[in-house]
Structure 1
Amino acid sequence: MSHDGVGPRAALRSVALLTAGLLAVPALAGCGSGDDPAGEPLAGADIAHADRARIAEGGTLRWAVDTVPDTLNTFQSDADATTTRIAQAVLPSMFRMDTRGRPVRNPDYLESAEVVDTEPKQVVLYKLNQQAVWSDGREIGAADFAAQWRALSGKDTAYWTARNAGYDRIGKIERGSSDLEVKVTFSRPYADWKSLFTPLYPKEVMGTPDAFNDGARKKLKVTAGPFTLKKVDTGEEEVTLTRSARWWGAPAKLSKIVLRAVPRDKRISALSAGTLDLAEIDPAAARRVTAAALPRGESSPLAGPGADRSAADALRSWAVANGSDEEAADEESSARRKLAKKAAKYARQQKALGGFEVRRSFEPAFTQLALNGADGPLADERVRRAVARALDRRAIAEAVLKPLGLPAESVGSHLALSGQAGYGDSSGALGEQDAKEAQALLADAGWVPGGPVRKEKKDDGEKAAGSEGEKGGDSGDGDESEGGDDGTYIVGEDDDANDDGKAPRDSGTGTGHLRQGGAPGAYAPRGTAAPARAASAPVAKDGKALTLRFVLPSGPGSDTLRTVAGRISAMLERIGIRTDVTKVDDASYFKDHIASGKYDLALYSWPATAYPATDARPVYAKPVAAADGSLNVEQNYTRVGTDQVDQLFDQAVTTLDDSERGALIRKADSRIWAAAGSIPLYQRPQLTAARKNLANAGAFGFRTPVYEDMGFLKKSAQGPTGTPGAKSAGASAGD
């Protein structure tokens, strides 16, 4: 799985939307643009904007991605964030996102698109740009729209499609009054019609099941964008896009874009080696790039290998290395040489990283705490609400975002983000942080502080909740900005630990192991004053302590998630809830744990979208029993949903009036908050290392990248300090 994506690979629109999104990776669409006063985005796009006249002709942009995609068809289940990125550069998009996550008409393909009739049927008329043609010279037209509709309508199961939302509402597609007009008639009203035909594939791909299923997995013979696909090289782990000679719009400035698969933990090395020009990075890497860009003397000299050694440590090391104990001297000398080698490598890398800068924004995605309501204690809404009311969401957001220099605001909606039309803080439906209210909710559900806990024999090899290295009550006071995953991953654990009533260990608070009757005040005579820690004594019910399984990823780049989990565990401990934190392998976290429901608490991200009535419904829909008795959860991995939320989504998707639809969406969001199945925490930070002379690329935020405008600045357009890293930059800028 990719740290770039948000949510599972087949999530929502074009795989993780993502992009993410990417992780993977998003204003409400309708007849008009309807500007909702939702405020400005927390952070705008940071792409080093430059006019095209300042950008040199030619050059190759080497751009890090997480994977070489398994398919180039965004409508297949194994499409990923790189699939989306390629499609954006080489295929038509009728609408793309602006800096506030609103769909705007793409003039390179559309002269206009509007609802021209609503009675008796909704009719949308597309007027195409008369210059728009496929790379083989054929005009883009109604035949392509019709082929895509038939492939994605869901009527022909021979097409292996991952989604058909919206296409299943189309009744017919026909040519308008000319070849440049496409008339789409809907059998049922569809408010999110702007989401359709982005991307648009040629009829050669969509025309037959064989072509759809296999023809566009590794190649696209026909394209229609500023770039065309040259090759997918699985051996070199890269995809090459070249400037299209058939493109009718503003010519691409770059000659090539090479999308190179580089693991997140290897990107600093690749950047410093001069093999990348642009890469999303984690907070630790961002600190290195930022420090490297500072003038000499301003960056801390105590960085890199051995930086934590004191003068006394260094003197002691020298003494041992030059001492009379030959064995100890040899060992210490070897360690000193290795340290010196690492320090020299670090210094070389820092010098090379001086040619880069960090561009910061927010992804169109948010990280949430998911509460599995299928069974166990969290099946009780009162317990879920108690967990939610215990959280200081603002403090969590500050822990993650403040060190990155980004606005530390908590997210108030499941269905939109700040700056998007339709955004509103609906968290009041759940209530603010209130430990006393949380404890009252627990008591109402039968979970009381100091209740007797049955003592049961523990297997020798079994790890108690909150054991060393997996402390449920860890306050997370370490470096909150270390590591880089802020929730792209969904993680979980096939683990039944502490579901048996065993008392948890103390989480570093000094109370030690709990024994039967040993909870503070458990058997105190009536009227006895409560001990100081009684307010946070473990709660229990029917002889079982309330301990929740908290699953986290174990891979590199997940330190931020673990910090957040530690803070959440500490907050829950204050109301008497213990957590059993288990770290699992990244490769199996989703399928084996979250998707299968084997967790109580988990952290993962979802994309925000311009089309919540369509895209968010499967994420929050009430699970229903399938014919075979299993539970169909769609993408609702918390298993929490209500009929009312479903009905509000169904109303919204058929409501063409922007303001009415927005009101329905906000009402649905309030109901989602009240159900307390998922608690939004913070918008995911987006940190991108970019060569300083690279323009119109970086942290895009909501905005769809404009690939033809990307490029390297002319020397005359660069700043007074020249171009840092000019040698490496020149290798990219020349073909």
Structure 2
Amino acid sequence: MRHASAAAWIAATAAVASLVSGCGSPDHTAAHKKAAPRADGQDINARPLSGIRQGGRLNLAISQWITQYNINTVDGAQGDAQEIARTVLPHLFHSDARGAIHANPDFLVSAKVTSTSPQTVEYRLNPKAKWSDGTPLGWRDFRAQWQALNGHDQAYEAADSSGYDQIAKVAQGGDAHTVKITFSSPYADWQRLFDPLYPAKYTSTPKQFNKGWSEKAPVTGNAFKIGSYDRTTQTITLVRDPKWWGNKPKLDTIVNRVIDFSARTEAYLNKELDSANALLPEDYQRLVKAPDTDIRRGARWDEVHITLNGARGPLKDLRVRQAVQHAVDRKGVNEAFAKDLAFRLAPLDNHFFMPNQQGYRDTSGGYATYDPKAAGKLLDAAGWKDNGEGRPRTKGGKQLTLDYVLSSGGTSAQFDQAELVQQQLAQAGIKVNLKKVPANDYFSRFVNRGDFDLTSFRNVDAVFLTTLTPVFQQPRGRNLFQNFGSVGSPKIDALLKKAGQSTDRAEAARLYNEADTEIWRLGHSIELYQRPQINAVRSDLANYGAEGLADVDYTKVGWLKKAGK
């Protein structure tokens, strides 16, 4: 789900209309900017398999070396790790362009609710589905995953126990290929559980769960498996698994290489990559001119925010967090980012819903309004002395200083945003140190460990809103889940649990929005804008590009046959 994770989430984002190329400057005034597309927008050059040649290699970029392939741990919740895991492990359900969920026939004959009191779900597994070691998928795999993630045993370093903690029993159904899940209370998003599925043989103990997937996947169970890990060249190569029982994938290999965001446009132009993000104007203007290139646009659940760490330093004080919210001019940040873009950037006033999504409303309650005077009063009340314009406030002889942690592999837009926020907070008497850290360490050593005061990344693809629960729930001991700033409350936890239990979509939306009002009040994070999806892709690459709400089906991705062949 997280930071481009990916991880994997209902909504849409603004799409980009073609920038005007040539000598003249495009008119990007508000009146000429394009509006957002419909929520099911996608552009993948969809083609039938008959038109795709057998073989070939797909070159993709990832943001960091994958240190953990168990995506149910905090370190594994990073987006690239999630994408690879769902490519090599049993991916039980697919999301389509509208965000609708469908059982994957390669793994499931069926999956349905068979009783509502108590809620009971029956999975009928495809008898052909096996792990790469030859073991058939079975009910014990489901049971082991439930036991690791239900929160009962704190030795399992689970990133998210939501949903699993509402299961009362996992058992074999009528035969060896049937699994029966009985819930203790209703859970609307039951299809997000056990997806991907992990093998009981390699997850049944805390040691196996926590450490057994570090740096490698000991077993796989999908059309592709991991052929090689090359830390020297920072590449992870996926290859077709000859034991695969489903339709033969068109590609031979998928090569994932660590490349900084700032270097990806050049890598694409040098034919080292087959896809690159074309969102930023400086990238778009170069990529749109590249030969044999499509600019593909889609709608996606994708938000940019600033996380505030309430577990250390000045931000432990609620008044300081609220002051930061008032001192950041969100409109100014958004306008600076969108200045040269040809579309309307949708401001974001909600942590759960995108602006063009049913259920969206402004839940900020005035806590994120740009108001320097209110920020000053809050800092006064917190005991931080005003030393005059341009000077940091002080308290007990110490300056009011915050560390804004950035990945050295980030985009120019991320650095520009951080510098703008630094300037805005300076006006309120808050000194901000910009701290660049190695890309491979950014999440694993800093974000995931809560080692920052401020940081900014993306949460993406929230087709299931319950996947956001660990982002806002209170940490337990050293387990931060995905609430890296440790800002939460029993009230938020209770509302999120109740929302997850509601099968009434309108009621669930009301509960999420009620929880979000409290999230804003506590200064958990500052939402900025809905991020567009616009990618440069090789013109002859089919069934890949800007998927929107849909999952990538790598068995269908491939290179078009040449004319006459």
State the TM bucket, normalised to the shorter chain.
0.7 to 0.9
**CA 550–252 in structure 1, closer or farther in 2 if over 3 Å, else same:** same
Residues 231-280 of structure 1 show CA distances to partners (whole Å, capped at 9, x for unaligned) of 32334432222233443443312122222333334434433333332344
1:339 corresponding residue in structure 2 = none
Aligned with residue 431 of structure 2, among 580, 586, 590:
580
How far apart in 1 are the matches of 2:64 and 2:73?
16
AA at the equivalent of 2:433: T
Indicate yes or no: 2:553 matched with 1:703: no
- Which of 442, 455, 473 aligns to 1:621? It is 473
Deviations 1:704-733 (A, max 9, x none): 111111111122399xxxxxxxxxxxxxxx
Change (3 A) 1:376 1:177: closer
Q: Counterparts of 1:139 and 1:711 in 2: how far apart (Å)?
A: 29
Q: Assess, with a 3 A threshold, how the Cα gap between structure 1 residues 545 and 505 changes in structure 2: closer, same or farther.
A: farther
Work out which of the residue numbers 426, 430, 448 in structure 1 matches 2:362.
Answer: 426
Deviation at 1:691, TM superposition (A): 1.8
Deviation of 1:142 after TM superposition, in Å, equals 2.0
Aligned residue in 2 for 1:610: 463
Determine if contact 2:3/2:457 at 8 Å carries over to the other structure. no
Superposed, which structure 2 residues align to 1:173-188 within 5 Å?
Answer: 173-188=170-185
Q: Which residue of 2 aligns with 1:715?
A: 562
Distance across 1 between alignment mates of 2:8 and 2:429 = 34
Where in structure 1 are there 5+ consecutive unaligned residues? 1-16, 29-38, 294-353, 449-498, 507-513, 515-537, 719-735
Deviation at 1:410, TM superposition (A): 1.0
Contact 2:163 2:187 in 1 (8 A): yes
Match of 1:492 in 2: none
Cα deviation 1:662-717 (Å, max 9, x = unaligned): 22112211222343432210123445332221122223343211111111112239
> Which amino acid in structure 1 is aligned with residue 5 of structure 2?
G
Contact 1:552/1:562, CA 8 A, preserved across alignment: no
2:93 counterpart residue number: 95
Cα deviation, residue 389, structure 1: 4.9
Superposed counterparts of 1:37-436, under 5 Å: 44-79=41-76, 80-119=78-117, 121-135=118-132, 139-155=136-152, 161-207=158-204, 212=209, 216-217=213-214, 220=217, 222-280=219-277, 283=280, 286-287=283-284, 289-290=286-287, 292-293=289-290, 354-361=291-298, 364-373=301-310, 384-385=321-322, 387-389=324-326, 392-401=329-338, 403-418=340-355, 423-427=359-363, 429-430=365-366, 433=369, 435=371
3-state SS of 2:510 partner:
helix
Residue 332 of structure 1 is matched in structure 2 by none
Deviation per residue, 1:344-367 (Å, 9 max, x gap): xxxxxxxxxx34344445664322
State the secondary structure of the residue aligned to 1:698: coil
The aligned counterpart of 1:26 is: 9
Q: CA deviation at 1:633?
A: 5.8
Change (3 A) 1:233 1:550: closer
State the alpha-carbon separation in 1 of the partners of residues 53 and 447 from structure 2.
Answer: 49
* Structure 1 residues 447 and 150, CA gap change in structure 2 (3 angstroms): closer
Decide whether the 8 Å contact of 1:429 with 1:671 is kept in 2: no
Q: Give the number of the structure with larger relative contact order, counting CA–CA contacts within 8 Å between residues 6 or more apart.
A: 2
Q: TM-score, normalised by structure 1?
A: 0.63
Partner amino acid, structure 1, of 2:199: P
Name which one, 1 or 2, has greater alpha-carbon Rg: 1
- Does the 8 Å contact 2:308/2:321 carry over to 1? yes
Q: Is the 8 A contact 2:387 2:394 kept in 1?
A: no
Partner residue in 1 for 2:505? 658
Alignment partner for residue 439 of structure 1, among 367, 373, 389?
A: 373
Distance 1:359 1:581, change over 3 A: farther
Q: Distance in 1 between matches of 2:235 and 2:447?
A: 31
Paired residue secondary structure (1:585): strand
CA 1:402–1:698: 2 relative to 1, 3 Å: farther
CA contact (8 A) 2:223 2:246 kept: yes
TM superposition score normalised by structure 2: 0.79
- 2:402 match: 549
- Contact 2:188/2:503 (8 A) holds in 1: yes
Distance between the aligned counterparts of 2:505 and 2:152, measured in 1? 30
Q: For residues 410 and 506 of structure 2, what CA distance do their matches in structure 1 show?
A: 41
Counterpart Cα distance in 2 of 1:360 and 1:548: 40
1:411 Cα deviation after fit: 1.5
Letter in 2 for 1:82: D
Q: Equivalent residue for 1:11?
A: none
Q: Provide the secondary structure at the position in 2 that maps to 1:53.
A: helix
Determine if contact 2:322/2:378 at 8 Å carries over to the other structure: no
Change (3 A) 1:91 1:441: closer
Counterpart AA for 2:350: S
User: Residues of 1 paired with 2:95 and 2:198: CA distance?
Assistant: 19
| CA spacing shift, 1:401–1:43, aligned 2, 3 Å | farther
Residues 694 and 710, structure 1, Cα contact 8 Å, conserved in 2: yes
Q: Distance in 2 between the 1:162 and 1:289 partners?
A: 39
1:559 aligns with 2:412: yes
Structure 1 stretches of 4+ moved >6 Å? 540-546
Q: Partner residue of 2:492?
A: 645
| In structure 1, C-alpha distance between the alignment counterparts of 2:68 and 2:314, rounded to whole Å | 41
Is the Cα–Cα contact under 8 Å of residues 66 and 262 in structure 1 kept in the other structure?
Answer: yes
Partner residue of 2:387 out of 492, 498, 503? 503
Cα-to-partner distance string for 1:310-349 (whole Å, 9 max, x where unaligned)? xxxxxxxxxxxxxxxxxxxxxxxxxxxxxxxxxxxxxxxx
Checking the alignment, whether the CA contact within 8 Å between 1:27 and 1:610 is kept in structure 2 is yes
Q: 1:434 to 1:288 in 2, by over 3 A?
A: closer
8 Å contact kept, 1:268–1:285: no
CA contact (8 A) 2:142 2:197 kept: yes
Which letter does structure 1 place at the counterpart of 2:471?
V
Q: Secondary structure at the match of 2:346?
A: coil
Instruction: Specify the SS of the correspondent of 2:563.
Output: helix
1:34 matched residue in structure 2 = none
**Identity of paired residues, percent?**
33
Relative to structure 1, is the Cα distance of residues 162 and 272 closer, same or farther in structure 2, using a 3 angstrom cutoff?
same
**Secondary structure of 2:228 counterpart:** strand
Q: In the alignment, which residue of structure 2 is the partner of 1:494? A: none
Instruction: Name stretches of at least 5 consecutive residues in structure 2 with no aligned partner.
Output: 12-35
Q: Would you say the 8 A contact 1:25–1:363 is kept in 2?
A: no
Cα distance in structure 2, aligned partners of 1:432 and 1:186: 38
CA 1:579–1:158 in 2, change beyond 3 Å: closer, same or farther? closer
Letter in 2 for 1:559: S
1:672, 1:551 → 2: CA distance? Answer: 21
CA distance in 1, matches of 2:533, 2:82: 17
User: Given the superposition, is the C-alpha separation of residues 579 and 50 from structure 1 closer, same or farther in structure 2, using an over 3 Å criterion?
Assistant: farther
Deviation of 1:73 (Å): 2.8
Q: Would the aligned equivalents of 1:191 and 1:654 in 2 still touch at CA under 8 Å?
A: yes
RMSD: 4.1
- Structure 1 residue matching 2:304: 3-state secondary structure: strand
How far apart, in 1, do the equivalents of 2:564 and 2:283 lie?
26
Q: Larger deviation: 83-92 or 583-592?
A: 583-592
Deviation at 1:53, TM superposition (A): 2.8
Give the Cα–Cα distance (whole angstroms) in 2 for the partners of residues 237 and 381 of structure 1: 41
**Cα distance per residue 1:149-202 (max 9 Å; x no partner):** 344445566756554443343332222223432111124443332221111123
Contact 1:374 1:638 in 2 (8 A): yes
Contact 1:65 1:279 in 2 (8 A): no
